[in-house]
Amino acid sequence: MSAIKLQINTKERRYPIFIGSGLITKLSKLLNSCSIKFSKCLLVIDSKVPKTLINKILKSLPKKQTIIHIFNANELNKNQSSVNKILTILLKKNFHRNDCLISIGGGITGDVSGFASSIFKRGIKFINIPTTLLAQVDSSIGGKTGINSIHGKNLIGSFYQPNLVISDINFLKTLPKREIICGYGEILKHSLIANKKFFLFLNKNANKILNLKSPFIEKSIHRSCLIKKRIIEIDEKEKNLRKILNFGHTFAHAYEATLQYSKKLNHGEAVILGIMNASKFSLKNNLLSNDEFKLIKNHLIQFKLLIKLKKKISPNKLNHIVSFMTKDKKNTTKKINLILLKKIGQPILNLNFDNKKLYSFLKKELID
Ligand code: GLY
């Protein structure tokens, strides 16, 4: 077992992230190395995780009372009822604070399980085993947990850092290409907000990364996690700097909500569209140079990452999109707060725009 170890140090908690192949066959060893002990554990497992991998996890866990809850993870089930089901199991089985919940799945499973962990007896041990690229490079790190509401995405939730994150690359080999592209969107986001050299690395090696070639995939996951680590260690609760991780997401969340979280457009695809929109909006507002905008646009086109927005959303939904953007968590006034780019690797925070400006920008994107 060769693993890269990254230590996250926040005010709330210090915890390791392990990245490598075959880690799920060594769970007892990893738990021991972090001195994590419990007598009962609830495994919340995304129904899409292959049985063979679940069996490997069960075999390698310490011999404790283990309860399994299979969760049909999708944006529509990222709701209060799913959280209640988990809480009911924990209550019925009389879990204590020192017991443990282990999430095995993508970002939705991690967000729902993490939220349940944070509110059960005001906090139970939480281990995240992310099985998608998106969850390994983004959602499993930094303690954001939560659920959707009819008013928008992730509007109910908490900051709750896990005790341990185990990112096993072998899960990725079981995923459809669409899922890999979605995770790649978040890797690309990290490069654009923090490190041009990393962007140039992606621009050179995107095909190898998208095809999960070693050591390119491990390197991309590691660098992505490092970027996120540095941001959340400075601003765990998203008072300011952490907002840059939302680059592209204000657009993305509005598209997802407008489409009622349908499978037509999943989160990562929406993020890639949002990255394109936010880059173009940066160009139109004379913040980003045309040369750098073209680098981003060509990257998205060359590696076939972009879907046509107008194929997914009808122009008569424009009002809905802008209305969801006004409900974004980052907004503190009636205006829409956006993270934009000055250069690749140099984001700008705290810019606010009128609805009308976004309306006319998006009208062109949806109609032209
Ligand atoms: N995915 C954005 C964040 O964790 O802040």
Q: Which of 155, 174, 193 delimits the end of a domain?
A: 174
Q: Which residue owns the Cα nearest ligand 1 atom 5?
A: 245
Please check whether residues 132 and 218 belong to one and the same domain.
no
What is the value of pTM for the model shown? Answer: 0.94
Distance, in Å, from the CA atom of 242 to the CA atom of 340, rounded to the nearest integer, reads 14
The continuous run of DSSP H or E covering 88 comes out as helix 80-92
The reported pLDDT for the residue numbered 205 is 98
**Half-sphere exposure in the Cβ direction for 338 (13 Å, CA):** 27
pLDDT tens digits, residue range 297-355? 999 999 999 888 888 898 899 999 999 999 988 888 899 999 999 999 999 998 999 99
Q: Report the atom number in ligand 1 closest to the C-alpha of 243.
A: 5
Whether the bond into 215 is cis, omega within 30 of 0 = yes
**Domains: count for the chain:** 2
Taking 50 as the pLDDT cut, the residues of the chain under it are none
Please check whether residues 121 and 203 belong to one and the same domain.
no
Please check whether residues 196 and 124 belong to one and the same domain.
no
Output the CA 210–ligand 1 centroid distance in Å.
22
The CATH number of residue 30's host domain is: 3.40.50.1970
The CATH number of residue 248's host domain is: 1.20.1090.10
Please check whether residues 168 and 185 belong to one and the same domain.
no
Please check whether residues 134 and 258 belong to one and the same domain.
no
The SS3 of residue 20 is: strand
**CB 86 less than 6 A from any atom of ligand 1:** no
Distance, in Å, from the CA atom of 100 to the CA atom of 312, rounded to the nearest integer, reads 40
Distance, in Å, from the CA atom of 135 to the CA atom of 57, rounded to the nearest integer, reads 18
**CB 299 less than 6 A from any atom of ligand 1:** no
**CB 245 less than 6 A from any atom of ligand 1:** yes
Cβ neighbour number for residue 368 with a 10 Å cutoff: 6
**CB 186 less than 6 A from any atom of ligand 1:** no
Q: Which of 159, 174, 189 delimits the end of a domain?
A: 174
- Please name which of 304, 269, 289, 271 lies closest in space to residue 345, comparing C-alpha atoms: 289
Please check whether residues 81 and 207 belong to one and the same domain.
no
Please check whether residues 198 and 90 belong to one and the same domain.
no
Residue type, 87: L
Beta strands in the chain (DSSP E): 3-9, 14-20, 40-46, 65-71, 100-105, 125-130, 144-149, 152-159, 164-168, 336-343, 346-353
Q: Which of 174, 189, 212 delimits the end of a domain?
A: 174
Please check whether residues 110 and 255 belong to one and the same domain.
no
- Return the best residue to mutate from 190, 242, 267 for the ligand 1 pocket (most ligand atoms within 8 A of CB): 242
Q: In which domain, by residue range, is 294 found?
A: 177-366
The continuous run of DSSP H or E covering 360 comes out as helix 355-367
Please check whether residues 161 and 259 belong to one and the same domain.
no
Q: What are phi and psi for residue 226, nearest 5 degrees?
A: -60, -45
**CB 188 less than 6 A from any atom of ligand 1:** no
166 forms bridges with which residues in the sheet?
Answer: 18
Distance, in Å, from the CA atom of 339 to the CA atom of 193, rounded to the nearest integer, reads 9
Per the CB < 8 A criterion, the answer to whether 137 and 101 are in contact is no
**CB 144 less than 6 A from any atom of ligand 1:** yes
Distance, in Å, from the CA atom of 245 to the CA atom of 247, rounded to the nearest integer, reads 5
pLDDT tens digits, residue range 241-291? 999 999 999 999 999 999 998 889 999 999 999 999 999 999 999 999 999
Q: Is the dihedral of CA 150, 154, 159, 162 positive or negative?
A: positive
Please check whether residues 215 and 143 belong to one and the same domain.
no
- Please name which of 73, 54, 4, 1 lies closest in space to residue 224, comparing C-alpha atoms: 4
Please check whether residues 217 and 163 belong to one and the same domain.
no
Q: Which two tokens stand for residue 203?
A: 């621009």
Please check whether residues 199 and 344 belong to one and the same domain.
yes
Kindly give the interhelix angle for 267-284 and 355-367, rounded to the nearest 10 degrees: 110
Q: Report the atom number in ligand 1 closest to the C-alpha of 144.
A: 4
Q: Which two tokens stand for residue 224?
A: 């992505």
- Please name which of 241, 238, 209, 233 lies closest in space to residue 222, comparing C-alpha atoms: 209
